[in-house]
Copies of this chain bind each other. A is one copy, B any other.
């Protein structure tokens, strides 16, 4: 491959970075895709790992494997520590990499409203390790409940608090409901997992705020059927090892809840390399630290530097920033790749335009809500669409037909095969 071809460096192998790389495959450019991980993570299914339904291997694909045939794409595993947009350089450890175009798509991380002490007590759900930590905490709680002789302690172990009722929080709470009421049923001798209390806490007025009021209410009904208690207009004041303090926004009253397991699905913010980039590129950022991008996804005066996906604040289309979902990142990845190719051919491209294909959130077996154009759906039809969409993407990525078999199996048996507590330190 000619060294003289323009060099496109992509940082981040999530939906945005990967779609950009795929679009550039086989074209007249050299591409280097850098990620700290050696795999692409199918993040929308991470909640299934957290609740023992799927294994991490089921929802990840090695980046090298996906891009095997793209001979002009070089995958490097490692952490970019510094970017110099004026010199067009990125630093991978001590290695200096010169680029002609740079695409940064490193996403966001969880934000604990400035309470960093909450982090170890309430894991978020961004990485495989996060999901395994959640899985460990959840399954450990049932084991502890079975083991203890103290009734109050047992109640606390059987109380789960999910903070944030966006798609992730709703999916987690729903899956927890199925785990407790179906999967674990009959497996314990002292406790009845059906007595598990699952509390879903949301600051807004209703669950799934991005959906319509009607779909929100239908989602709330489905959650209630799975035994999930919903507390809207409620904030978390404190998280301790043995409980949380909740504050009602309506009455300003606080309530103590004894719990040993808090799952975080609330705020996100930009950290690490994204923060560094905003600084060195002197870019404007929003409250969450997301980088304000130009209409073509470039940043400030740097026409060859693009930011996309969750890391980008793109408000040129509607005045509102686009949501942090896979669809947006994928379309932006494709767009930027096309833009670069067009520039190399001396032509131009209209500004990025997001084609909103709809919004989906799954609650449980046969239950979801969907919003596609002007169509609204809930229950089984929405669930069917959810599963078809996910089948489509899983096959597109890595021909992960086996995951479907696993799913079908879980669906019929209500089993969750990956219910293991791992990551313990001892090696005996």
CB within 8 Å of B: which residues of A?
Answer: 36-39, 52, 54-58, 60-62, 64-65, 68, 71, 74-78, 92, 95, 106, 109, 119, 126-130, 132, 139-140, 143, 146-147, 149, 184, 186-190, 271-273, 398, 400-402, 405-406, 409, 415, 417-424, 426-428
Contacts and interface: CB of A to CB of B under 8 A. Distances in A.
19 contacts: A36-B426, A38-B143, A38-B419, A39-B421, A55-B55, A60-B420, A62-B420, A64-B184, A64-B188, A74-B189, A77-B147, A77-B421, A78-B143, A95-B147, A128-B420, A398-B417, A402-B409, A405-B405, A423-B423
Contacts of A419: 38-39, 57, 62, 65
Given A55-B55, A58-B55, A428-B271, A423 B76 contact: no
A415 B55 contact: no
Contacts of A62: 187, 419-420
Given A187-B65, A415-B65, A427 B55 contact: no
A187 B106 CA distance: 23
Given A57-B55, A60-B420, A188-B64, A272 B428 contact: yes
A422 to B, nearest CB: 5
A310 to B, nearest CB: 12
A129 B424 contact: yes
Contact of A36 (B78, B129, B139, B424): B424
B421 A38 contact: yes
Given A405-B402, A406-B402, A427 B127 contact: yes
Contacts of A39: 419-421
Contacts of A76: 143, 146-147
Given A38-B139, A405-B405, 20 more contacts: A36-B424, A36-B428, A38-B421, A54-B57, A56-B422, A64-B184, A64-B188, A65-B415, A65-B419, A71-B189, A76-B143, A76-B146, A77-B140, A77-B146, A78-B147, A95-B149, A127-B427, A129-B423, A132-B422, A272-B428
Contacts of A139: 38
A132 B54 CA distance: 17
A418 B398 CA distance: 12
Contacts of A424: 36-37, 129
A130 B424 CA distance: 11
A126 to B, nearest CB: 7
A419 B36 CA distance: 15
B187 A126 contact: no
Nearest to A34: B147
A189 B68 CA distance: 9
A381 to B, nearest CB: 28
A418 B54 CA distance: 12
Contacts of A402: 402, 405-406, 409, 417
A57 B428 contact: no
Contacts of A71: 189
Contacts of A420: 37-39, 56-57, 60, 62, 128
A356 to B, nearest CB: 29
A129 B65 contact: no
A186 B422 contact: no
Top 6 closest pairs, chain A to chain B, by CB: A57-B418, A55-B55, A55-B57, A64-B187, A77-B143, A272-B428
Nearest to A132: B422
Contacts of A409: 401-402
Contacts of A427: 109, 119, 126-127, 129-130
A311 to B, nearest CB: 12
Nearest to A130: B427
Nearest to A66: B187
A424 B38 CA distance: 11
Nearest to A426: B36
B143 A422 contact: no
Contacts of A186: 68
A94 to B, nearest CB: 10
